[in-house]
Chain A
Amino acid sequence: MFFQKFFKYLFFLFIIKPYIYLILGVNVKGAENLPKVSMQPSIIVANHNSHVDTLLLMSLFSPSQILKIHPVAAADYFCNTKLKSFLFKTLIGLIPIKRKIGKTTKEELFREINDALRSGETIIIYPEGTRGNDNSIQSFKSGVSHIAAMNPDIPVIPIYINGPDRILPKGAFLWVPFIADVYISEPIKYDGTPTRVFTERIKAAVEALKEEHQRREEL
C-alpha cells in the first residue's frame, strides 16, 4: 500500500502536475466549491471527452490530497491486461467497474467504490459511461445516483470540463496543448428522490456550468 501511494505521489508531483499547469494550463471557476478531500469524502462527477479529464481533475488538488482520490474507470478498457491494471492502479489509483452488468447484486458491483467512500476517500466518476466525440454532453447513466443513494451523506460535486476534447480527443494519439477550463458547481446531496430524477438533477447542474462557459462575457 505504501509502495502504491509513494509512486502515485511522485507521479503527480513531478510529471502530471507540471505538465498540466505549465504545458497545458487550467482556468478554474468556482474553486471555492472544491472539496477539502483530506477532510471529507465526496463524489466528483464530470462530463467526459478525453483521458486528460482525469489527470486534469486530479491535478486541481495537492499531491497529498490526490492520494485520496480514485477515478472510477471501465474495467474492460483499463484493466483488460495485467500490466495495464497494475500501472493504472499504482499510478492513478483507479477503481475498476464493470460496464456490462451480469447477475451481480448492486452491493457487489459497487463494493470497491463504497469501501473507498466509507474509508474517507473521494471518487471521480463520469456518468456518461464513455468519452464523447464532439464535446456534447450525452445522457447520464444512473450508477452515480445509486452510489449517492447508498452513501446519502456524501456530497456530489458536478464539474464541467472544456478543452480536453481538443488536447487529446477520443481515438487520437497526438497531444496538442490547449488551456482547459474547469467549472465547479456547489455540492449536491442525495435527497431521497428516485435515482433517475437525481441523475437528471446532476446532469442539469453540469449543463448549467456548460452554459456558463458558453455565455459571452460583457466587456
Chain B
Amino acid sequence: MEHFVFTHNAKWAIVILYSIIAFLMAAVKIGQTVFKKDLENLWIRLKSFFVIVLLFTLAFCFNKITAFIFLALISYLCFKEFVSLIPTRKTDRNVLIWAYWSIPVTYYIIYTHWATLFYLFIPLYMFMLLSVRMVISGNTQGFLKNLAVMQYGLMTTVYALGYLGLIAIIPMENNPQAGAVGLLFYILVLTVSNDFMQMFCGKLFGKHKIIPNVSPNKTWEGFIGGVIGTSGLSVLMGYFLTPFTIWQSAFAGAVLAVCGFFGDVTMSAIKRDLGVKDTSTLIPGHGGILDRLDSLLFTAPLFFHYFAYTYTIIITRGT
C-alpha cells in the first residue's frame, strides 16, 4: 500500500492550519457568548470549512487509494451538480452515464501515473466518445448545444479538478522539503485564502466595479488586494512548502490570484445564465460544492503547468 510522505514542513503547515481554524472558531464562539453578536452564519461556514479540511486530511493521511477515491468523489459531486443545473433532453441520459464513467477512469489513469493519457483522455477521447454515443441516440434536435455543454462540464469538473490528483503524484525529488502534500496544501490554502482576501478587501475598500454585468460585488480594490495578499502569503508558504525562489513564489501567487478570480466570475456567469444563486445546498453556509471550488477549477491546472515549466517533472509509470 502506497502512502503519501508527510515531511516535517508539511506536518507543521497542517498543524498551523488547524490552529488557525481552531482560533477562528474560538473567536466566533466568544463573540457569540460574551459579546452577544449574531455570528451564527459565520459559525456554520467555519464548521463546514473545518469538516472539509478534516475530510481532506483524513483521505490523504490514510493512503494513496483513499486519497484518489476522495478526489474522484469530489469530481463526481461537482459534475452531478453541473448536470443537475443544465437542461437535458431525455435521450441525453444514456450519454450522461458515459460521462459519469469517465470520472473513475480519469482518476484511475492518474493513479497509475499515466500523465500523458490524462492530458488527452477528457479533451480528446471523451470528446469523441460522447459524440459517438449521442449520434447513436439519434436525437439531432439540440445536438451540438447539448454535446458542448456536457463536454464543458467534464472539462471543468473532471479534467481541471483532476489536476489536483496530478499535483498529488509530483515526485518527491521535485520538492524535497514538503513533497506533493506540501504542494497540494500550498495550492488549496492559497486558492481559498485568495477568495477570502478578495472578498475582505472588496468589503473594506471596494469602490470601482470590475465586472458589473457578471458579478456586481467584485471590485478592482478587492481584486488588487487579493493579488497582493496572495503573493505575500505565497512567498511565506512557498519558502517552506515549495522549491520556488522568492520571486517565483510571488509570481505564482499573483498568477493564482488572477486565475482564481476568473474561475470565480466564470462560475458566476454560468449561474447567472441558468438563473440560480447557488449550485446546490450540499455544504451548509456555502451553497454547493461547485460554488466553493469555482476558483480551484482554474488555479489547479495552471499551478501544475507553472510548476512543470519551472521544474522538469518526471512522472514515471509503474507505481
Q: Is the CB of A27 within 8 A of B80?
A: no
Which of B80, B93, B268, B275 touches A217 (beta carbons < 8 Å)? B275
Q: Is the CB of B80 within 8 A of A25?
A: yes
A to B CB contacts below 8 Å, 28 in the list: A25-B77, A25-B81, A25-B280, A25-B282, A28-B281, A163-B84, A166-B88, A166-B93, A169-B90, A174-B93, A174-B94, A174-B97, A176-B93, A176-B96, A176-B100, A177-B80, A178-B80, A178-B84, A179-B80, A179-B81, A216-B276, A217-B276, A217-B277, A218-B277, A219-B268, A219-B271, A219-B272, A219-B277
Q: Is the C-beta of B83 less than 8 angstroms from some C-beta in chain A? A: yes
Whole-angstrom distance from the CB of A119 to the nearest CB of chain B? 35
Whole-angstrom distance from the CB of A22 to the nearest CB of chain B? 9
Residues of A within 8 A of B (CB): 25, 27-28, 163, 166, 169, 172, 174, 176-179, 216-219
Q: Which residues of B contact A27 (CB under 8 A)?
A: 280-281
Q: Which residue of B lies closest to A28 (CB)?
A: B281
Q: Which residues of B contact A176 (CB under 8 A)?
A: 93, 96-97, 100
Q: Which residue of B lies closest to A167 (CB)?
A: B93
Q: Which residue of B lies closest to A21 (CB)?
A: B282
Q: Which of A28, A172, A179, A216 has the most CB of B within 10 A?
A: A179
CA distance A167 to B119 in the complex (A): 31
CA distance A217 to B276 in the complex (A): 5
Which secondary structure dominates where chain A touches chain B? loop
Whole-angstrom distance from the CB of A66 to the nearest CB of chain B? 21
CA distance A166 to B81 in the complex (A): 14
User: Once A and B bind, how many residue pairs between them come within 8 Å at the CB atom?
Assistant: 41
Q: Which residues of B contact A218 (CB under 8 A)?
A: 277
CA distance A9 to B268 in the complex (A): 42
Whole-angstrom distance from the CB of B267 to the nearest CB of chain A? 12
CA distance A27 to B208 in the complex (A): 36
Interface residues of B in 90-108 (CB under 8 A from A): 90, 93-94, 96-97, 100
Which secondary structure dominates where chain B touches chain A? helix
Given contacts A166-B93, A177-B100, 14 further A-B contacts (CB under 8 A): A25-B77, A27-B280, A28-B281, A163-B84, A166-B88, A169-B90, A174-B97, A176-B96, A176-B97, A178-B80, A179-B80, A179-B81, A217-B275, A219-B277
CA distance A166 to B95 in the complex (A): 13
Q: Is the CB of A172 within 8 A of B271?
A: no
CA distance A178 to B93 in the complex (A): 10
Interface residues of B in 262-277 (CB under 8 A from A): 268, 271-272, 275-277
CA distance A176 to B89 in the complex (A): 13
Whole-angstrom distance from the CB of B285 to the nearest CB of chain A? 15
Q: Which residues of B contact A179 (CB under 8 A)?
A: 80-81, 84, 280
Q: Which residues of B contact A25 (CB under 8 A)?
A: 77, 80-81, 84, 280, 282
CA distance A172 to B93 in the complex (A): 10
Q: Which residues of A contact B282 (CB under 8 A)?
A: 25
Q: Is the CB of A178 within 8 A of B83?
A: yes
Whole-angstrom distance from the CB of B150 to the nearest CB of chain A? 12
Whole-angstrom distance from the CB of B265 to the nearest CB of chain A? 12
Q: Which residues of B contact A178 (CB under 8 A)?
A: 80, 83-84
Whole-angstrom distance from the CB of B201 to the nearest CB of chain A? 21
CA distance A149 to B160 in the complex (A): 57
